[in-house]
Structure 1
Amino acid sequence: MTLRLPLQVNHLIDLLSGSGHEAYAVGCCVRDRLVDLIPAEWEVCTDASLAQAASCIQNELHIEPKQEPNSLMLVVDGVSLRVTTATFRQESSSSNPKPDLSDRGLTVNAIAYHPVKGLVNEFHGLEDLEGKLIRGIGDPDIYFRRNPFNMLQTLRFSALSSCRMDRSVASSIHRLAPMLSGIPAERASVDFCRILMCSNAAGTIRNYFDVASALIPSLAAPLEREANLPALVARSLEHCPPDLTVRLALLLLPIERQKGAVTGALAKQAALDFALDSLTAGYIEQLCGAYDTFIPTSPTKMKKMIAQYGKPLFQRLILFKKALIYSGQGSKVDSILSLHRSNLLLGDILRNNQCCTLRELAVGQEDLTAEGLSPEDAKRILPQLLEQVWAQDSLNTREKLLPLAKRLAR
């Protein structure tokens, strides 16, 4: 089997080999390439010490790699490379020493590749990839206890590739999920958000909601109250396109609903506690807070609401409401028919680029003051002009709005 590696990876392997060392691409990057995914970084394992590898890289590439625990990191022409050390052993059936991959935890991670020497597949990871199966090498608990982040990375690969966990791996993740509550939220949120953006995010949340509640403790209470919660959240994700903000709002909404009145404040706090940025947390608050808000089906009222939320967030609100109603969790104020009408109306507004906000008006405060209006009158009249344009979009020209502004100022 031949794999196409980036030129930078081939060059690094050649560089180390030319200095008398063994070197292979290894681990998750090889696994991802085998299933047509794009690796975030490329790992090259070598029998050289890190000091020897660093010296070789500095002498030949004139790059000083970043020293990290047990590895070197460097970026060459936009490609992230990680150099790790490995034990190589000589097998009687082969003249080429091969890396020992027994500590890679999962069979699909225990695959190495050399552009000339080919694939190292001692633990049959290639066959497991072809069979869409994730199996452990020995006891999966050892792999996940060694680094709890491995649980999130395994879930992400499963969600991306649609590979299923075998019973021992799945049981290990369920058993050790509480360990995730002790890891830094800043890093956990990045990995978890990547899972939410995968094509099979819904299935992952349905089967591993205990992982989500370990990372976001405020999900534990609604889960205790409603045993069917994982299925409900998963169903809403199935009806939601890959928009991270909307998917996060769908996940965090149960925190709000268990308290009765839905304001969005609890969801926002949960988002901030999970180290999400304040802008995203604010959007989540607005989406959840609009749970019981009716989406208008008349142009003027919809444009007024768009002015309140802004076009990008209002589009997300439609997605949020649709996902909830199609999953059986919609508010009493919503119906499939009314949301369908709202969605068609929104499409017309966006397609025709109709004015919804003060920023989109054909005139601004400076234009009105240039016509002789006082700054106070200009500031007072602009919202009135906007309301006129909401009702009749063809008014949104300088030629029509300036005379109208003067009449309103009298």
Structure 2
Amino acid sequence: MTQNRLQYRPGSFCLGERCDMCEEHMQRMEEFDSKIPEEVKYVIKKLNDDYFEAVIIGGCVRDILLGVEPDDWDVATNALPCQVKSIFGKTVDVGLKYGTVAVLEGNKKIEVTTYRKEDAYSDNRRPDKVDFVPSMKEDVARRDFTVNSIAYHPGSGFIDLFNGISDIKARIIRTVGDADKRFSEDALRMLRAVRFMAELGFEAEPGVIESIKRQKHLLRKVSKERIRDELTKILVSPNPSKTLLLKETGMLPVVIPELEEYSHEAMQQVAFKLENIENDPVLRWAVFLRYKGRDDILHILNNLRFSNAEIKRICSIMENIHKDIKPIPGLVKKLVSVIGEGTFLDVLKVKEAILKAEMKSCRNNKNGKDSHDGNDDCILKGFAKCEYLAEDIKRIDAAINIYRAAKDKGECMSIRDLAVNGDDIIRLGFKEGKQVGEVLEKLLDRVIKSPGSNRKEELLKYASRYLKNSLRINGNRT
């Protein structure tokens, strides 16, 4: 492959229409250049000085255009991996097969990838063969979406061969070239399309949606872990209502067969609930699976290769979601002692999200979006339901405030917070094992009712009396 010195005509690409080196273009380039770390500029300059092309490309360019600080920086070049390694002192092989070398510069890890084209994708996930090419155009043509196909060179400007900047302005997700071809190459791109819509707040070009509907079956060939990761990114995005697209495109029953029965209305309700809860992945998955039973939830989570800790947390939420939460200090602290502080908070957050979603739906009905044909009786019932939901939300908030107040005061809400432990109880004469646990539970009940009694001397006296009573009762039985 022949390498040529970088030769971009300054001003050929800009955020506005094509122009020469106009003042506006220069100003925008200066603003863009200021967002690029010096380490990245150094890598590009070093490659240019050795007569190679080099540009930043992909998500990092997209993110800067959207005013977001990139997490990663990717450089594309016509230098071969071995040449990149010879130019830079510190490198890591992160994907030589695909032409990628990580350059370690300062505190940055910058991935430098050789221009390439790809042959057939027999597994609908990765190319069977990669060929390095001298042309940036060939490299860009293989990329997934136009918003990820924009390149930039400091001092020379944007290289936007597929109108990605226009699509960013229009807030559109569009494939580079034929959508069917792009999705058949890598089936995960269908979920990525929804993920980008959810993360960026964009809409899809109609051809993208139609292609997904035709090719959704190819997702069966994608690993469960990758599907899980894309679904999680959609769920924790700023626009989780885009999960509706999973239903509308037919992808949902392909990636999670157990959710095939979810109706469009059920998915709308799920979307409302997702919007009302913090973007903790576990909480959002709990809401997403809200309408399924425990066995189905376990099967889904195991099939998607969730960790044991995540499965335990989600299942704990679902097992306790129907518990009645009364804002009474003793009952709140008792519930915390039974299900644990973490589960208690998780359950209340999910409950509150569910109630707020139902409240939103109820208010929509009151405002005439679902007028029940003007039936006064139905309208009155709608008002009553809204008031009931509002009271439930107040009870949830009150319970959280009770918990936080008890926590701030250092009040005991678990056995580990008691002023005594199992060893103290054994020294009193109790048998190690079940009996010790029963005594600690009784002591916890006592302390929850009377927070001031959590003192070692007082608890040991109470435990001693309990032991004497137990011995007397057992003696009478014999």
Per the normalisation by structure 1, the TM-score is: 0.85
Alpha-carbon offset, residue 25 of structure 1: 0.6
Residue identity opposite 1:347 in structure 2: N
2:136 is aligned with 1:99? yes
The equivalences for 1:160-199 within 5 A come to: 160-199=199-238
Alpha-carbon offset, residue 335 of structure 1: 5.1
Alpha-carbon offset, residue 187 of structure 1: 2.0
Residue 11 of structure 1 corresponds to which residue in structure 2? Answer: 42
Quote the Cα distance in structure 1 between the aligned partners of 2:317 and 2:112. 44
Count of residue pairs brought into register by the alignment: 385
Residue identity opposite 2:90 in structure 1: H
| Residue ranges of structure 1 left out of the alignment (5+ in a row) | 89-96, 257-263
| Corresponding residue to 2:296 among 255, 260, 266 | 266
Residue identity opposite 1:247 in structure 2: R
| Partner secondary structure for residue 246 of structure 1 | helix
Residue 52 of structure 1 corresponds to which residue in structure 2? Answer: 83
Deviation per residue, 1:353-383 (Å, 9 max, x gap): 132111122221234445x444546543211
Residue 349 of structure 2 corresponds to which residue in structure 1? Answer: 319
2:98 is aligned with 1:70? yes
Quote the Cα distance in structure 2 between the aligned partners of 1:7 and 1:213. 47
| Partner secondary structure for residue 30 of structure 1 | helix
Contact 1:245 1:280 in 2 (8 A): yes
Change (3 A) 1:312 1:191: same
Residue identity opposite 2:94 in structure 1: K
Residue identity opposite 1:175 in structure 2: R
2:110 is aligned with 1:81? yes
Contact 2:276 2:357 in 1 (8 A): yes
Alpha-carbon offset, residue 339 of structure 1: 4.5
The root-mean-square deviation of aligned C-alpha atoms, in Å, is 2.7
Alpha-carbon offset, residue 49 of structure 1: 1.9
Residue 29 of structure 1 corresponds to which residue in structure 2? Answer: 60
2:255 is aligned with 1:207? no
| Corresponding residue to 1:405 among 440, 452, 463 | 463
| Partner secondary structure for residue 65 of structure 1 | strand
Alpha-carbon offset, residue 318 of structure 1: 0.9
Per the normalisation by structure 2, the TM-score is: 0.73
Quote the Cα distance in structure 1 between the aligned partners of 2:284 and 2:193. 20
Quote the Cα distance in structure 2 between the aligned partners of 1:87 and 1:279. 41
Worse-matched range after superposition: 393-402 or 105-114: 393-402
Residue 418 of structure 2 corresponds to which residue in structure 1? Answer: 361
Quote the Cα distance in structure 2 between the aligned partners of 1:134 and 1:405. 68
| Corresponding residue to 1:384 among 439, 442, 445 | 442
Residue 145 of structure 1 corresponds to which residue in structure 2? Answer: 184
Between structure 1 and structure 2, the one with the greater Rg is: 2
| Partner secondary structure for residue 74 of structure 1 | strand
Quote the Cα distance in structure 2 between the aligned partners of 1:149 and 1:39. 22
Residue identity opposite 2:243 in structure 1: I
Quote the Cα distance in structure 2 between the aligned partners of 1:24 and 1:230. 42
| Residue ranges of structure 2 left out of the alignment (5+ in a row) | 1-28, 118-133, 362-384, 469-478
The equivalences for 1:270-349 within 5 A come to: 270-328=300-358, 336-349=390-403
Change (3 A) 1:110 1:64: closer
Change (3 A) 1:200 1:227: closer
